[in-house]
Each structure stands twice: as structure tokens, then as C-alpha cells.
Structure 1
Amino acid sequence: MNYLDEFKKFIFSHYLATGVRLTLGAIIPSLIFQHFGILGELIAFPLGTLLIGSTDSPGPYHRRRNSLLIAIATCFSVACITGLLRHFHFVVFIEIIVFGMFFSLVGVYGNRVNSIGLISLLVFVFNIDDHLSGDMVLRTAAIFSAGGMWYFILYMILQKLLPYKLIQQLLGENFVELGKLLSIKAGYYMAKPDYDALFNRMVHQQVILRENHENLREVLFKTREFVTESTTKSRILMLMFLDSIDLFERILNSQQNYANLHRAFGHTKILRMLGTYITWLSTEIQQIGLAVQSGFPAHSRHDLDEAIHRCQKAFEKMREQQMTHDNMEDYIMLRQILNSLQDITERVKKLHRASTYDTEVGKDYKMNVETDNFTPKQDYNPRILLDNISLKSSHFRHAVRITLGLLIGYTASLFFDLGHGYWILLTIVTIMKPAFSITKQRNLHRIGGTILGVTSGFLFLYLIHDNTALFVLMMLSMILAYSFLKVNYFVASTAITLYVLLSFNFLNPQHITAVLQDRVIDTVIGSVIAYFVSSYVLPVWEHSQINQYMREALRANRRYFDLVAAKFTGKTLDINQLKLYRKDAIIAMANLSDNFQKMLSEPKRKQMKMEEYHQFVATSHMLTSYIASLSTYAQTLDYPQFSVEFEMMIRQIDRQLQAAMDLLEGKTTTVVEVTRESLPKNQKLLDLLTTRKKEIKELGIEKADLSPSRRMISDLKTINGLFELISTITIDEIKILQKIKPVNAH
């Protein structure tokens, strides 16, 4: 890991920008109020800024604007209702049930609405006792909303001043993560690669990239300046994003049979040479990402033309000296890898030029995708909420768990003499998530972060007596807290605890020891409640949902394969449809991987058939990769004279894919017969290969290379090999599903 590049990535990221924006938004008015001696009375103002600002997640301008206004109105209403009725405990219990269920269940409308629901619950918790508003409920609610409006104004100003900044931050991060994916690929070419470890890292990286792509699609394709009213800068940013998607597919479809590759060339230097060059390419892509984030042009660290030329010369020399008619097919595979690297090199060079925002780069740009098909769609029909009021809904089960946790936490705060009992409820609300694995992880991070934050806070207060130094420390803690809130909850929890303690020290230094104790005790109580409720109350275990993700992945791969394969039977390839099906396949693959990763964090008693599920995830990734490789050839090559042979192979693969789908759906009538059927041989290609081997044997490589059929045979051998790999992988999936089926038959 290059720690300097990681630091640069963080410095220029939207995460740090969010942390700084929220911190300054809260601190600036607080300093003004402190100057006039009214901060104690108006403490709800910076709290409103922080909470309302927390709902502001990356997205199109109009969605961010509308969600902030809705959050302000919703939180004002909740603060008024809670504050006016908090002295009636039986009414508070009713509010917990109503608010707990409703604000948790609105998560069915997506992450943006879910964040508004979460903040509304936090506002409810803050107003349960009178520590914040006393008897001036409406006044405090108005001050809180004013703090939210101040953040809204700040957001509007920054949006006008820096309209492209968020795009640059997200796009730059996308390139950095893309570079990391390529660096993982480089590991396959090094000596004695750990295939399982590399695969797991690739799966994790692809999940990250899937999330980045979704955010970028929503922001770019739903922003008028990028679609209809484009400037040079917006055109180039859009061009870079579309190129990044194509580059991602190119990296994805460079999947090889690495065991065969090492068997054939592991004793030579060529694989390590290629691995080093791929590492260089990954560094270049990450540098482009950092440049896009910072707004400065990217500068190449390596001479890519010279490096790829050396790789090609080494290949040609080795081919000339060591290739025979027996190992010809291994060299075809190696040549395809070089062709792929050459293509990636040209794309990287193009992206380097694009980072300069030269008008020449973007002048020929045309939007060639139907943006509506590529943006995440969210339906806000009330019917969706009503349909989820069922124990079959994971959202409803989560809402029940949240509500029960709050009821238990509130009861505990009434029966035990706790100075800040509402911290118990805050812990429960912030820790509990729909997935048990995330709740478990956040629970550990919350307890660990709180203990570390309290310990470090005590040490800072004991050792530092200068208020200016403590104030700077508090600001840095706030920035870290809100920068890492969605990246690393342990760091965020530590920083939040630290800045809360430091702020209490400024407001009420006499009671800081009691605050330290309350923070730890209340957090532990809340965490214990959250753990037991999430474990034993209507839990939704990931293995109960994995069949659905497996079906979606298989269905998406089949659609993707059918569209690509049809080109080899003589049909026209719809590029727009290809990109849409590619996106669907990659999203389905990432969702399946994410689900499996969550399964690994669940209790051992719930981890059934993990080896088989892991194998299915691995084969699904390989299947998508091989189809993506096939699509590259479908877009550039056309060999209609082989359409009959390819059509027979495609028909057989389709039967295999249908058999796998039948197994998932509990239909097993044709499975046995399909697994016994072999893929039809491409006799025309076999005849060509026999002729080619004969030419090499009789004429030698130099003269045989003059044959006009050389390039065609190389392409056809690769295409045919991809069909064979897809067929083999599909049969493997059928066999895996036969092992899983007894557990998950419906």
C-alpha cells in the first residue's frame, strides 16, 4: 500500500470535504454565539446543523436540496411533538412505537430517505428528556431548524461556487479503486500466487466499485449540466466516467486460466514482467484518480510505451525460440493478454490527456447512452410502504427490532439513575442495522471507539490545560468523526466520543468526570441491548436471502451471454443494450458477493454450506468475466462463416444455464442429462488449427507467420476457448447447486 497516495486520496475525498463542511457549519455560529455569551441558550443551533447536514449524501442537486428541506420540516415536527409530550411516559412509549416503526420502515425508499428517518429518530431521542430545551420546546425546535437552514444555505452557496467538485471527488475515487483492482490482477502473474486470497480481494474491490458506479451514474445522468447543458469540463468528466466503465470491463474480461498460464510460462521471466507492467498501469490509473480529485492534470510516472514495447519484444523473442506446434495454443493465450494490456495502455494514455481538460479532448464527445436506463430508479409510491408491513419483509423486521430496542432502552433509563440516559437510545439507533453482520461490527466498533475516545479524552484533559489547544483538538475530532462516519465506524466513534467530551468540558467543566462515566456505561448498556435484540428478535440471516441473489446473478449472466453470443450467429449487436446488460450483470455479481461476505460475519450455527456458496460466488464472477471477454470480440470481430458451429455451442450453453436456473427454482427434470452432454466441437476451427500446426512444423514459425489465416485462427481460438470456459463454468455451477439444493429446496 502506498500510504502517501492513500493520504492524498483522503485529503481530496468528498468524505473529508463533508467533515470539514459539517464542522465549520457548526463551529462558526457557535463561536459567534460564544462571543455574545448565548451559546448555552442556542446549543440546539449547531446540533441542528450537524444532524440535518448528516442527511446530505452525494447525489443530484435537486435530490440533495429536496431531502434537506424535508429533513428540516420532519425534524421540526418530531422535536415539537416529543418535547411537548415527554412528561407523559405512557405517551412516550406510544411515540417510540409509532416513530420507531415509521422512521425505520421508510428505509424501503432507499438510502437518502433512510438517512432522514435515522436523523428523525435521533431528534426524537434528543428531545425525550429536558436537557436540551427545558420548558421552551417550540423555541428550541425553531432554533434547531434554523441550524438546519443554515446548513442548507451553506450547501447552496458551495454548490454554486463549486458545481463540479463532488463529481471530481467521486470520479477520482472511482479511478483510485479501479487502479487497486488492476493491482490485484497483477498478483496473478507473480510467482506462486494465492488464488483464493486474490479472488477474495477482487470480490471486495468489485463491491466497492459497484457502489461508486451507482453514485456516479445518479449524479451524472440526473444532472442537467452533464446531459443537456454541457460545458467543456462537464463533457470531459462525463467522457472520463464512460471510459472508466469500459476500462473496468476490460480489466474484468482479462480473466485467464492462471493455473494453465503458470504451467506453461511459470519457469520464464515473461509472467513477472507482465505482472510488473500491470502494477505500473495500476499506479497510473490511481494517479489519474488523485489528479481528478485535486483538479490538477495527471503526470505519468512511467514510460508506458517503452514498457509495453519491452514486454512485446520479450514475447516475440520467446515465441521465436520456444514455440512449437505442440505449445502454439499457450502462445495464443499469451498474445491475447498482451493485446489486452495494449488496449488498457491506450485507454490510460487517453485518460491522462483528459485530466488536462483540453477542449480538443472533449470536442468530439457525444452522449451515446440512454441515461434513463442507467440511473438507479426509486419509486416513492405509498403502496411500497404498505406492502412491507409484513413479517416477510426484512425492512419490517428491522423496524420491529429498532422499536423493541428503544422500548427496552427507554425503560432502562427510567429505572436506573443515569445522568445521560438518552445516550442508551442513541447507541441503539446508530448501531442497529437490517443486516446482523453490520450490527455486530458496528457494536464492536462503538464499544471500542467509545472506550478509546473516553480514555484519550481523559488524558488530553489531564495533560492539556490550554483552552485554545483543546478547541483545536475538538475541531480536528469533529472533522475526523464526520469524515470517517461512512468509511470506518471505529475511527468515527472514537472521534465522536472525544469531541463530545471536549465540548462538554467547555460547556460544563465541573461535571466532566460524570460525563466520562455516563458515556461508557450508557454505550455498553445500549450495545448489549442492540446485540441481543438483533440476535434473537425476528433476525434476518443472510443465508435466507442468498438464493434470491444467486437467481438474479444467474439470470443477469444469462441475459448478458445471450445478447453477446447472438452476434456470433450473425445477428446485430445493440451496443446500448450491451452496456445495460453488462451493468446489470456486474451489479448482480456485486450484490451476491456482498451477501456472501455478510454471511461470514454471522453466527457459526447459521453458516450452512459455506464452501459451496463460496464456490458459486467464485464461478459467478468467472462467468461474468468470460462473458465480458466474449463481448470484446463481439464488438470488433465478425466471422459469419462460423455461425452454424457457434450456434450449436450457444444452444448447449443455454440449456446448461436453464438447468442451473431450474435447480434454483426446484425443478430438476433435465439437470442430469445436461451435465452429461458435451459441448459440440467446432470442427471448422479444429481443421484450421491442424493446418496451422502443420504449417509451423513444416515451414517454421517465420514463414508460417506469413499465412493470412494466422490472425483469424488466433481470434477464433480465443473465442472458441471462451465458449468452452463458459460451458465448463456453467456445468460447475450446476454441480454446486446440486450440493446446495437439499438445504435450500423450496
Structure 2
Amino acid sequence: MKTPPVNPKVIATLPVFLSVCLAALLIRHFHLTQEAIPLVLGIIAGGLVDLDNRLTGRLKNLFFTLLAFSISSISVKLTYGQPVTFAATMTLLAFLFTVLGTVGLRYRTISFGTLAVAVYTTLSHHPGENWYTSTLMILIGTSMYSVLAVLCHIVFPHRPVQENMANAYAALGDYLDAKAGFFDPDEVGQFEQQQIRLAMSNHKLIAVFNLCRSALFYRMRGQHRHPRTSRMLRYYFAAQDIHERASSSHIQYQDMVEKLKNSDLIYRYQRLLELQAQACRNIAASLRDNEPYVYDERLARANKGLKQSIEYYAATHPGGVDVHALQRLAANLRGVNYQLSHLESGLDQEHDSEATRIANTETSGLANIIRSIRSQLTLESAIFRHAVRMAIITLVCCAIVEGFNLSLGYWIWLTALFVCQPNYSATQSRLKQRIVGTVLGVFVGSLLPYFTPSLETKLIVVVLATTLFYFFRTNKYSFSTFFITIQALTSFSIAGMDTAAALPWRVVDTIIGCALAWAAVSYLWPDWHYLALNQTGAKAIKSEAGYLRSILKQLENGKIDDVGYRSSRRKAHESAAALSSTVSDMSSEPDKYGSKLQTGFSLLKINYSMMGYISALGAYRSQMKQSEDDAGFLDLFFAAAYSLTDLLETADIPDEEAFRQEYETLQHQLEQLQELAADGHNEQSSVLWQQLVMMANLLKPSREAIQQAEAQA
């Protein structure tokens, strides 16, 4: 069955829309005006914890969700009205559930929803009702949403994975565009900015790749693999191969552009990369429209023109840029073309093949979960600091509400829960949007009573506002806050509460909640006191060493994209992305980070240069040839390469004498390799030697940058 080209956000919003419509019908038919608030809040909570998964995985998530929601809501009902016990219980829940989020995405998502349910239960409490009424309504609302989400999954089973893949190719297109900037002769003096732009593009790309990997992993856990899943798996591996080739560095770009700036050759490289970037965006569009991708023949013509231009340059500039390096660069781009042209015609590999497996990064088993949580119980962990902040915020909110006897004061807690994020920059961005959205929502909400005189019209507003809140919640937070404010005020009106009196308190409580969130991230173990730039940089370089070691093993034994190789490559890129994120956070707060900022940029540039040289060897695996004539060179090459890997792994160890001795040994090996490469007149030897030399040249700068970061820590 062909899935219609429907906006994926509309598909994702369907379960919320349908479940709120069903809730509205139940409220109207059975006159459940008092139960309206917890019923709709239960639907919202179900939407907040919804995770894409196969059918059995969704049912498993639902079981854990209902269990966690029950514990949270019942804890509120049993302690509400006992200020000390209630505050202590909620504080403990806030800490425990936030820390539980360290285990994995599923636990983190359910934990956040569970805390939201605690606040929802508090806000929907009505004097005189049975103790179980709110809890039951919240669980019914969550179950309604989950059942309809499963039905939508059955109708559109592959759209979430396909949308993730479309996002990956769109991000890959942006990355290729950033790489094309290296070949712009008019931007010769902007090389440093281009490196930073590429690093930030890579950070976004790795985040999207991780979402794709998770989605595919959950879909592949069963015995049967759907043909659509196999197709998306092929797209995923093709994207990874393109990324590795695009990450490769075969030449010093700055020198090359300077020498070729008056030649058409540099423009041909740039144009081919830009065409490939556009091809990736075309793939994203075809996935979203559910149409097969059609390869653009302009790519083949551009590749042919580049080849001819290289041949002409070689004939007319015998003393110019290294022609072999230009040819390797062109061959790498030709490999990207190959992946793009064979995307739809590739043959699926065997289901149990090592090359089609995806690494499991989810923590499972009680012992492993406990070990994972225990490892985070230190102030050096951002998640632990966030958990302590959330516990303190919860305690302060409870004290404010009880101390001033605020009837709807727990809006303060709700605001702080949604606004307070693990880092300062994200919190600051959210609190501004929250205040703006709330103020506008209150203004519009104050006018709604004139247009919604009946229960039916109020229910229509609840349906629309809840649906639009969910639609905008991931990309327009101010919009989502605006609509959820309207939804809350209308729901209170349905329940018979005085909304006019609640309007100013909604704004005041929002401002107080935002202020608490801001104070928490600013004064309770702020990020800039724990920003371990030296540790993040060292981890990135050590991950690169693991990636290089995996490549060397494959150069020795033959190329195979097994799960071990892909995992080492992924870890290297994730560590590089973490460094990019750290530097990005620093650059948003230059006054707080001071001199650390320049060191961060230096580490970032070195890291991505090293990643480029290593990736070039990874892309070269399929061309590697072993012969008796090259045996002497290869023996020495692998010895030198593993020595370099050892030096990368110990880049943060302050033993200068040991480093100096090993570095001198490596330089001696490289000199011998250069002689063997020159004597053999072998292009392969030249390639391997050159990549090793470029990596070795970054050893001292990387070590110095880490030491400088340690001195500033």
C-alpha cells in the first residue's frame, strides 16, 4: 500500500487530535465537566512520552508508562494536603525520575512525562472528589492516546522512519554544502570560519543520524524485516558512506585553493559538491513525498568534466598542486556519485549479515541500569546536576505555594519543569518563549468567553488548542505555549472555575517559574564551572584513535562495514559533535567563558582536521591492495600507524619525556616510509604515507591545545 504524501507532522499529530476529539465527545455525552481537565491532561502526557517503535515495542512502552504514571499520580493524591510530606515526596520523585533519564531515551522520555503527570494531578485536584478520580482520568487519557497512536502506526507504519531518513539526507546536504565552501576561491581568507561551520554542520548531522539509527534499531529487533525497513537501512548505510567520504581530507585545502584560484578546476570541485548536496536534498524530498529518487545525470557530467579538467591541469602545470592528491579527491567524490546513483537499485544484503546490523546503545538489564545510574552520581555529570536542580526547584515551588496559600500556584512548578533544561543556553531560550507565549495566550484567552458561550464551543477550542500545542511543541515553543495556555484556561472554564480570576495568576506564576528556572541554571552548579573542555577534547581525540585503529585493521584484512567498524566511526563523530556542542555553548556566553573560547576553537579545528585525514583512509579501504612488492613498505606503514594511534590515545597524559621519545621514533619511521614510497613510485604508498604525515603533524598541536585547556580548567 502506497502511503500518501502527507505532512509527517500532521501524521504525528493525528493521535492527539483523534483522542481529544473522543474525549470531547465523552465529556459532552456524560457531562464529565469536572473530569475534563485530568482526562485531557492524560492525553497530553501520553503524547509527551510517545516514542516511535514497532508494535510490540509500543505496547511495552505503554506498560511502563502507565506504571510510572500511576506511581506519580497516586503519590500526589496520597500526600496532597500534607505540606511537608507532599513536598518531600515530590522532591524525591523529581530527583529520582530525572536521574533515571541517564539510562536511555525511553527512560528519559517517560521520566519527564511522569513528572509532568505529578504536576497535572496537582493542578486537576478538586476538593471533595474521590482520591482515585484524577489518577483514573489521567490514565484513561493516556491509554486513549496510546491506542489511537497504535492505530495510526498500523495505518502509517513506516512514515516515522522514513521522515527521520529524510531529515538525515537534508542534514547531509547541508554538510556537503559546508564542505563545498572549502573550494570557494573568493573565501581564501575565511578558512577558519569554514572549519567551524563544517564542525557545526557535522554536529547537527550526527544528531539526526543517531535518531535514524535508533528508529531502525527498534524496527529491526523482530524476526521479520519489512522490505521498507530494508530499503531505509540501505539508505542509512549509503548516507554514512557519503558522510565518511565527504569528511575525508586528502590535501591541504588552504594551499590548494590559493594555487588553483585562477583555474576552473577549483570551481568544478565546488560545483560537484554542491550538486551532490542538492541530490541529497532531492532524496529527502522524495522520501517525504513517498516517491522513488531519480538520479540527476548532471552529476555524471560534472564528474566527467572534473576528470578532464584534472588531466588538462596535469598536462599544463607540471609543478603545480599534487595531481595524485587531486585525483584521489575526485575519486572520493566519484564514490559519492556511485552511492547516489545506486540508491534505489542496490540489492539488499542477508538479514543476518554483520554488515546489516546496528549497534545496540540502549542500556538493558537491572544490573546495567543500576551501574549506569551510579556512574552519574557526581557533580561532574550534567544530568546529576540537573536532577539536583529539579529537586530543589520542586521543593521551593511547594514552599511558595503552601507558604502563600496559592490555589493555582502549582503552575509555577509546571512552568519550571518545562523551562528548566540541563544547560543554561537552552533554558534561557525557553524561558523567553514561555513568557511571550503565556502573555499572548492569556490575552486571547480573556476574550474567548465572549465567543464560546456553550460547552460545545469550549470543547472545540480545547480540541484545536491541544492539537496545535502538540503540532508546534518541537519547533515553535512560543506557539505551543500560546495554545496550551488557551487550552488550560478553557478547560478550567469547562470545570466551572473562575477563569477571569485565574488570568493574572497564570502570567505571574509563569514569570516566577521562569525566574526559578533561570536562577537554578545560573547559580546552582552552573555549566561554566563544570565545562571540562580538556576532557571533551581529549575524549574526541581518543575516539579518533579508536576509529583509526579500526581502519588500520581493515586495511590489513580487507574492507567490511561490520558493526564494530561502524560503531568506532560513530563514536568518533559523536565525540567530535560533543566538542562542537561544547564550543557552541561557550560561544553563546563569551563573558562567562573568557579565554577558554579561543582554546575551544583551536581544539575544534584540530579535531576536524584529524577526522578528515582519518576518514580519507577509511574511504581508501576498498582501494587497498597488498602485494609482495609492497610488503616492506606496508610492514613499516602499519608499525608507524599504530605508533601514531598510541600517541593519540595518550594525548592527555602529561609525560613529556615519553611523548618526545615516541614522537621522535614516529618521525624516524615516517622518514623511512618517505624513502620507500619514493623508491617504489607507487601511488598507494604515496597516499598512505601522505595521510600519515598529515595526521602526525597534528599530534603536537592537539597535545598543546589539551594542555592549555587543562591549565584553564
SS of the equivalent of 2:146 reads helix
Check if 1:293 corresponds to 2:293.
no
- Verify the 8 A CA contact 2:184 2:257 in the aligned structure 1: no
How big is the shift at 1:453? 4.1
CA contact 2:542–2:648 (8 Å) conserved in 1: no
Indicate whether 1:425 and 2:421 are aligned: no
Q: Cα distance, 1:378 vs. partner?
A: 0.8
Query: How has the CA–CA distance of structure 1 residues 251 and 475 changed in structure 2, closer, same or farther, with 3 Å as cutoff?
Result: farther
**1:656–1:731 Cα contact (<8 Å) kept:** no
Greater shift in the superposed pair: 337-346 or 448-457:
448-457
Gaps spanning 5+ residues in structure 2: where?
Answer: none
The C-alpha deviation readout for 1:440-485, integer Å capped at 9, x for no partner, is 3323332343334445656888899999999877656544432343
Secondary structure of the 2:620 match is: helix
Say if 1:349 and 1:150 are closer, same or farther in 2 by CA, change over 3 A: same
Distance verdict in 2 for CA 1:445–1:96, change over 3 Å: same
User: Is 1:734 matched with 2:703?
Assistant: yes
Match of residue 722, structure 1, among 655, 671, 691: 691
Q: Identify the residue that residue 422 of structure 2 maps to in structure 1.
A: 434
Q: Verify: 1:521 aligned to 2:508, yes or no.
A: yes
TM-score for the superposition, normalised by structure 1:
0.84
Aligned twin of 1:280: 275
Would you say the 8 A contact 2:38–2:121 is kept in 1?
A: no
Determine whether 1:620 maps to 2:607: yes
5 Å-filtered alignment, 1:374-413, equals 374-379=359-364, 380-381=366-367, 383-384=370-371, 385-386=373-374, 388-391=376-379, 393-413=381-401
Q: CA RMSD in A?
A: 3.4
Residue aligning to 1:3: none
- 1:86 alignment partner, one of 67, 76, 80: 80
Contact 2:256 2:321 (8 Å CA) reproduced: no
CA distance in 1, matches of 2:413, 2:170: 38
Q: Give the alignment partner of residue 582 of structure 2, picking from 578, 590, 595.
A: 595
Q: Aligned partner of 1:368: which letter? A: S
Corresponding residue to 2:58 among 64, 73, 77: 64
Q: Against the structure 1 CA distance between its residues 572 and 304, is the aligned structure 2 distance closer, same or farther, given a 3 Å change threshold?
A: closer
Taking the TM superposition and a 5 Å limit, the aligned residue runs for 1:199-598 are 199-224=195-220, 228-253=223-248, 256-300=251-295, 303-320=298-315, 322-324=316-318, 326-327=319-320, 329=322, 331-351=323-343, 353=344, 361-362=346-347, 368-369=353-354, 374-379=359-364, 380-381=366-367, 383-384=370-371, 385-386=373-374, 388-391=376-379, 393-416=381-404, 418=406, 420-455=408-443, 477-501=465-489, 511-541=498-528, 543-566=530-553, 570-572=556-558, 575-576=561-562, 577-598=564-585
The verdict on how the C-alpha distance between 1:363 and 1:94 changes in structure 2, with shifts beyond 3 A counting, is closer
Letter in 2 for 1:735: E
Whether the 8 Å contact between 1:543 and 1:607 is mirrored in structure 2 is no
Give the equivalent residue in structure 2 for 1:176.
Answer: 170
Q: How far apart are residue 525 of structure 1 and its match?
A: 0.4
Query: Does structure 2 retain, via aligned residues, the 8 Å contact 1:446–1:490?
Result: yes
The Cα offsets for residues 548-604 of structure 1, whole Å up to 9 and x where unpaired, read as 333332222112223323566x55556424333222222222223223323334573
Aligned partners of 2:516, 2:677: CA distance in 1, in Å? 66
Q: Return the alpha-carbon distance in structure 2 between the equivalents of residues 687 and 628 of structure 1.
A: 27
Q: SS state of the match for residue 354, structure 2? A: coil
Deviation of the 1:145 alpha carbon: 0.8
1:175 & 1:233 partners in 2: Cα distance? 17
**How far apart are 1:40 and its partner, in Å?**
4.1
Question: Which 10-residue stretch deviates more, 589-598 or 603-612?
Answer: 603-612
Measured after TM superposition, the shift of residue 86 of structure 1 is 1.0
2:674 paired residue among 652, 657, 682: 682
Sort the Cα spacing of 1:656 and 1:737 in 2 relative to 1 into closer, same or farther, 3 A.
farther
Measure, in 2, the Cα distance between the counterparts of 1:721 and 1:180.
Answer: 29
SS of residue matched to 1:374: coil
Residue 524 of structure 1 deviates from its aligned partner by 0.9
Structure-to-structure mapping, 1:693-732, within 5 angstroms: 712-713=682-683, 715-732=684-701
In structure 2, relative to structure 1, the CA distance for the partners of 1:302 and 1:425 (3 Å cut) is farther
Partner SS, residue 128 of structure 1: helix
Report how far residue 12 of structure 1 moved: 3.4
CA distance in 1: counterparts of 2:257 and 2:78, whole angstroms: 72
Determine the C-alpha separation between the residues in 2 that align with 1:595 and 1:648: 38
Letter in 2 for 1:447: I
Question: Deviation string for 1:339-360 (max 9, x for gaps)?
Answer: 2222211211222x35xxxxxx
Q: Secondary structure at the match of 1:644?
A: helix
3-state DSSP of counterpart to 2:39: helix
| 1:528 Cα offset (Å) | 0.9
* Aligned match of 1:7: none
Q: Secondary structure at the match of 2:632?
A: helix
Say if 1:60 and 1:218, in contact at 8 Å, map to a contact too: no
Instruction: Name the structure 1 match of 2:146.
Output: 152
Q: Which runs of 5+ in 1 are unaligned?
A: 1-9, 355-360, 690-711
Amino acid at match of 1:420: L
Q: Cα 1:620–1:143, aligned 2, differ >3 Å: closer, same or farther?
A: same
Larger relative contact order (C-alpha < 8 A, sep ≥ 6)?
2
CA distance in 2, matches of 1:195, 1:133: 66
Deviation at 1:639?
4.5
Structure 1: distance between partners of 2:601 and 2:53 = 34
Structure 1 contact 174–209 (Cα < 8 Å) conserved: yes
**Partner amino acid, structure 2, of 1:113:** Y
Q: What is the CA–CA distance in structure 2 between the aligned matches of 1:742 and 1:80, rounded to whole Å?
A: 51
- Superposed displacement of residue 522, structure 1: 0.8
Corresponding pairs, count: 699
Q: Which residue of 2 aligns with 1:358?
A: none
Matched, 1:633 2:620: yes
CA deviation after TM superposition for structure 1 residue 71, in Å: 1.5
User: Are positions 1:611 and 2:598 aligned together?
Assistant: yes
Contact 1:542–1:596 under 8 Å retained in 2: no
| Pair 729,494 (structure 1): closer, same or farther in 2 beyond 3 Å | farther
Aligned to 2:69: 75
Segment drifting more, 62-71 vs 411-420: 411-420
Deviations 1:624-654 (A, max 9, x none): 2211111222332215434434554554555
Q: Aligned to 1:297, what secondary structure does the other structure show?
A: coil
Residue 676 of structure 2 aligns with an amino acid whose one-letter code is: K
Q: Distance in 1 between matches of 2:47 and 2:314?
A: 61
Alignment CA distance shift 1:80-1:346 (3 Å): same
Q: After the TM superposition, which of the residue ranges 458-467 and 735-744 deviates more from structure 2?
A: 458-467
Distance 1:83 1:463, change over 3 A: closer
Structure 1 pair 463–646 and aligned structure 2 pair: CA distance change class (3 A):
farther
CA distance in 1, matches of 2:194, 2:265: 20
Q: In terms of mean alpha carbon deviation, does 392-401 or 456-465 score higher?
A: 456-465
Q: Does 1:198 align with 2:194?
A: yes
SS of the residue aligned with 1:483?
Answer: helix
Give me the identity figure in percent.
18
Note if contact 2:37-2:124 (Cα within 8 Å) is conserved in structure 1: no
CA positional deviation for 1:267: 1.2
Q: When the two structures are superposed, what TM-score results if normalisation uses the length of structure 2? A: 0.88
- Maintained 8 Å contact 1:418/1:518: no
Are the counterparts in 2 of residues 254 and 340 from structure 1 also a CA contact under 8 Å? no
CA shift, 1:39, in A, is: 4.1
Q: Could you give the per-residue CA deviations for residues 661-716 of structure 1, whole angstroms, max 9, x where no partner exists? A: 44523433323455667442511322466xxxxxxxxxxxxxxxxxxxxxx53x44
Q: Output the CA distance in 1 between the equivalents of 2:599 and 2:285.
A: 39
